[in-house]
Structure 1
């Protein structure tokens, strides 16, 4: 109905803004992925402006005390899904969407993020975040899936580009083109993982800078930075090491094109000292500050 609008008090968005159409995402700053092993570390660290938590690890009715403490301090917490499978031929699970929505409400989150990935088919789990076929038919199906997800969530949705060790033979679009058209048709936000762009450049020869140039960065929600390692000619995005310089350079390249609302460090295992994590956040800020020297 014309004139009827809904408003999300977390983001200030109204109406179409809940789908990210023409709306600026929440300002977040520089953050780190919350892990149970890092709960006290994150509480006492300086320079953590926001955190992201794996949604599948949460019980919305019984949040970890550390997350409650962070929220009481006004630190935004973003639920990050890894199992929705929005890139599948089947519609996303209503139960999984309901869980993401409950997490967003329990955390008073400014948005929810997920992966643009294929994770299951016909009830069989892939066990990995697989790249979607970048075809027109796939785009049509994923557009419908994204709209279903947006309608089920109380806050905006952002989708993350994934790391790949293979590509589909019948791709009709580049990753940048595919994401740009998906954003145009749905208004979905973008979570750009520059480490994943580097992985795809290393493994598949796909230019990360060309991908940045093709993306509608005005719809950027936030950015991921992470480390990995090379093994037998492939780059593995493990989130267990410091971000290598090429990944930080890509962050600088991105910041030369747009100011990201937030940049988040992912570290999932083999956790370093508090000081080392703090140094990684400092490196991120430095990489962002160098954007003016790129162009």
Structure 2
């Protein structure tokens, strides 16, 4: 495996304003991830250099800046580039992602293998691509366009999908492998998404996970979900199920890939969130994180 731009074997967490006080008290985390679109673009300030196309800079919350000053890398994670869009990628959104990385001094950025807009309409959701050569051509073109505007590597993430397009020309593993070979992009592997897709299509999650390309792994997402209407939904607001932790335990030990807890709402008490992080640490045979007692709300 080519080394990740992040610290080997690191355990990370998604930075969110709602839990920033707790995150400030964590000891032992190796990185965090911030939603790039949550950072405020300031159009009144000039860009840092001529490579910033959007003529805007990004304002970083002080709580996040404090983590970066402690030496904890922050990865901007985009959710709206629409890398799979046949209409191309919006320059302003590329600039937001690129300037977020410059401002934070990030070692890489990440986005999704998905599309979110077509015909001028915003879906408001990450939609799956058909696994065809034509879709790969679109992805390749858009990824190269984004990479030309970045100072750091790009990682792309597999998504959870409740349906698959018909007439697929590739399996998911073949699709990702060719994408990596064509572009040299890193892979952000979401283990919970692999579990969700396998379970909803009556496939074995471990078999699907072990088929995926690992030579360009940047880091992994691990998140919770629940079953609804006979389908498993990747929610990011529920605890990590035992089945996903079991996948981590089969996949992560012996691999130095960084792992990250992804939580986007319904935040539990600080001690429970730390316990969830340490469940990942235990499953991956890594040192636990700790929380300074003065950081626990009364």
The equivalent position to 1:289 in structure 2, one of 277, 285, 290, is: 285
The runs of 5 or more residues in structure 1 that have no matched partner are 1-20, 291-295
How far off is 1:24 after superposition?
A: 4.2
Instruction: Say yes or no: does 1:71 pair with 2:68.
Output: yes
Question: Equivalents in 2 of 1:256, 1:51: separation in Å?
Answer: 21
- Mapping 1:86-105, distance limit 5 Å: 86-105=83-102
Query: For 1:38 and 1:267, how far apart are their aligned partners in 2?
Result: 10
**Aligned residue number for residue 291 of structure 2:** none
**Partner residue of 1:163 out of 155, 160, 174:** 160
Q: Deviations over 1:218-264 (max 9, x none)?
A: 2000000000110110111111121001111111222257331x111
1:196 equivalent among 184, 193, 197: 193
Q: Larger relative contact order (C-alpha < 8 A, sep ≥ 6)? A: 2
- 2:27 is aligned with 1:30: no
Distance 1:46 1:256, change over 3 A: closer
Match of 2:106 in 1: 109
Measure the CA separation in 2 of the matches of 1:92 and 1:257. Answer: 37
Stretches of structure 2 lacking an aligned partner (at least 5 in a row): 41-56, 287-298
SS at match of 2:27: coil
Partner of 1:80: 77
1:239 to 236, 241, 249: 236
CA 1:103 to 1:167, structure 2 compared with 1: closer, same or farther past 3 Å? Answer: same
Aligned-partner Cα distance in 2 for 1:227–1:136:
32
For residues 80 and 120 of structure 1, the distance between their equivalents in structure 2, rounded to whole angstroms, comes to 18
Contact 1:78/1:110 (<8 A) preserved: yes
Report the CA distance between 1:26 and its aligned residue: 2.5
Alpha-carbon distance in 2 for matches of 1:47, 1:225 = 18
**Number of aligned positions between the proteins:** 269
Deviations 1:94-139 (A, max 9, x none): 1111110000000000000000011111111111101110011111
The answer (yes or no) to whether the contact 2:225–2:233 under 8 Å persists in 1 is yes
Pairs within 5 Å for 1:93-242: 93-242=90-239
Q: 1:280 aligns with which of 276, 292, 295?
A: 276
Residues 25 and 220 of structure 1 are in contact (CA less than 8 Å); yes or no, is this contact kept in structure 2? no
Q: Which residue of 2 aligns with 1:48?
A: 29
Separation in structure 2 between the aligned mates of residue 253 and residue 131 of structure 1, nearest angstrom: 27
Instruction: Report the Cα offset of residue 152 of structure 1.
Output: 1.3
Residue number in structure 1 paired with 2:54: none
1:264 to 2:260 alignment: yes
**CA 135–256 in structure 1, closer or farther in 2 if over 3 Å, else same:** farther
CA RMSD after TM alignment: 1.7
Query: What TM-score, normalized by structure 2, do the two folds share?
Result: 0.86
SS of structure 1 residue aligned to 2:227: strand
Between the aligned partners of 1:148 and 1:161, the Cα distance in structure 2 is 19
Deviation (angstroms), 1:199: 0.7
Deviations 1:1-52 (A, max 9, x none): xxxxxxxxxxxxxxxxxxxx95643316101101110111100122322110
TM-score normalised by structure 1 residue count: 0.87
